[in-house]
Structure 1
Amino acid sequence: MQRTTDGWATAGPGLDERATGPLVRLGLLRAAPCEDQAGLPAKAGRTAAWAVQLTDDGWDALLYAQVRAAPPTAEAPSPGLQQVGLRRSELDTLRRFLALRGRLRHAPAPGLESAVDAARFNAASNRWVVYVSGEQMESMARAFFLERLGGSAAPANRFARVYGVSYEPPPHDAGATATCG
């Protein structure tokens, strides 16, 4: 592939109509019009059978792919915070729990919502990573407890097994519920 000064890439090894056609159809590349292609041999120094140019979407796709492929910056958590790796379904459970924050009798711990919003995917562990305090860990355990009651016990079980935190409802006095006669 050889580039010209006006942004066209001319045919070379691996750059032909068959290879770039799908990208042209997606709108990521633009094929050179016949009149432009006729003038390319003089600029490229050889015959150009095919020439393409990145579109704005093509540039953006390359930039996005570069950022997406870059490993997330390893920020050290603030003192007192613990790193927690969550499966996608567990993150979804926390989001449902946080969506109820104004209606729950036991509100989520302060800062849990911002911690969940800041979750970053770690491809190496295939987990969403959040940094939370002990109080936020307890609140997460409560969310997984509620999920256990209405859906799946897997998040609560895994959280207790991996992080040693589980939510147990406070014991109630059985005598207080007896009928008065």
Structure 2
Amino acid sequence: MDDYDPFELQDSDFAPVEATASRLALLTLEEAHDLLRVLVTVAQEGGPVSAEADRLAKEIAARVPSELSIQAGRRRRGRSRMGAVKQAAALELLGVVEEWQETAEHGWVLDVDGVPREGVLKAAASGLVELAERDERAELSARAGRPVRWAARLTGQGRDLLLYARSQHAAGPAAAGPEYRLVELMPSQMDVVRVVTGLADQLQVPPAPGLDERVRAAVQDRVSGRWRVYLTAEQMASIAYGLWLHKMAGSAAEANRFSRDHGIAHTSAT
């Protein structure tokens, strides 16, 4: 904790900390963890910690994972983002191979066509491209009038992967008109929305018309992991309602994040 200094602590800072007890359920995991570290730091430095603040610290400690768990989660998310970037780069390379292959008379991408050799070798190891054998390279060298060090072309699996990836984008969240707004949902938020649309026939406040079709057409961004979908204001209000149900059932993080990102939050009728 020596390297953690959230802010300069003053005596006047502790009243807001005590008031946070009633809002504990509204904190995200990392916000609660940071608050716990503040309280522990105050106690270690001999600062005035009231009984309420001490109770709050114990309550958070019982609910929040350890620092190691938080760091492990951050590492997993980092690896996930890196994996998504690599997947996007691999798809881009396959698209380039396809483009050059279709314009080449011989149907091969040669070593001077601007396609990185390392990427081709990795794609070949995954069975997405085929590398020319020695006899084929000799024939290509004769046609090119120079030695061809390597040549590649898409395999059936490579073509199918491109087709599948493009179909995901083709079925993506196209805006049908000016009344639609781009919404990005975290995976946990999308899980809630899918539950809500699945309960449409049973809910007393059913989802807005067309929300289920929009959810089915949503596309997950390969880098951020968020689901991208265009929605009307009425459909966004339905999502806010579903996230409010999820919040009242025990988890507020999804509703709070939606409110911060899009400025929409459902409030119970009074």
Give the TM-score of the pair, scaled to structure 2. 0.47
**Structure 1 unaligned regions, length at least 5:** 172-181
- Determine which of 256, 259, 265 is the counterpart of 1:157: 256
Quote the residue 1:42 is aligned against. Answer: 142
Cα deviation, residue 31, structure 1: 1.7
Counterpart CA distance in 1 for 2:163 and 2:133 is 26
- Determine which of 195, 216, 239 is the counterpart of 1:140: 239
Cα deviation, residue 62, structure 1: 5.4
Quote the residue 1:117 is aligned against. Answer: 216
Give the TM-score of the pair, scaled to structure 1. 0.64
Quote the residue 1:9 is aligned against. Answer: 109
1:88 aligns with 2:187: yes
Counterpart CA distance in 1 for 2:113 and 2:201 is 61
Quote the residue 1:29 is aligned against. Answer: 129
Counterpart CA distance in 2 for 1:46 and 1:19 is 23
Q: Report the AA paired with residue 104 of structure 1.
A: L
Cα deviation, residue 120, structure 1: 4.7
Counterpart CA distance in 1 for 2:248 and 2:257 is 15
Quote the residue 1:107 is aligned against. Answer: 206
Aligned length: 165
Counterpart CA distance in 1 for 2:185 and 2:115 is 42
Counterpart CA distance in 1 for 2:181 and 2:111 is 53
Q: Report the AA paired with residue 49 of structure 1.
A: R
49 and 130 in structure 1: CA distance in 2 versus 1, 3 angstrom threshold: closer
Cα deviation, residue 68, structure 1: 7.8
Contact kept in structure 2, 1:115 and 1:132, CA below 8 Å: no
Cα deviation, residue 76, structure 1: 5.7
Cα deviation, residue 121, structure 1: 5.3
Cα deviation, residue 98, structure 1: 1.2
57 and 78 in structure 1: CA distance in 2 versus 1, 3 angstrom threshold: same
Cα deviation, residue 117, structure 1: 2.8
Query: What does the per-residue CA deviation read over 1:33-72, in whole Å, with 9 as the maximum and x for residues that have no partner?
Result: 23222322211101223332232333455566778899x7
Query: What does the per-residue CA deviation read over 1:84-123, in whole Å, with 9 as the maximum and x for residues that have no partner?
Result: 4433322221111111223334332333222333435577
Cα deviation, residue 158, structure 1: 3.7
104 and 158 in structure 1: CA distance in 2 versus 1, 3 angstrom threshold: same
Contact kept in structure 2, 1:97 and 1:143, CA below 8 Å: yes
Question: Which one has a larger percent strand, Structure 1 or Structure 2?
Answer: 1
- CA-based RMSD of the aligned residues comes to 3.9
Tell which deviates more after alignment, 13-22 or 92-101: 13-22
- Determine which of 159, 167, 180 is the counterpart of 2:267: 167
SS of alignment partner, residue 22 of structure 1: helix
**Structure 2 unaligned regions, length at least 5:** 1-99
Counterpart CA distance in 2 for 1:17 and 1:115 is 40
Counterpart CA distance in 1 for 2:181 and 2:264 is 13
Counterpart CA distance in 1 for 2:184 and 2:116 is 45
Counterpart CA distance in 2 for 1:18 and 1:116 is 38
130 and 45 in structure 1: CA distance in 2 versus 1, 3 angstrom threshold: same
28 and 91 in structure 1: CA distance in 2 versus 1, 3 angstrom threshold: same
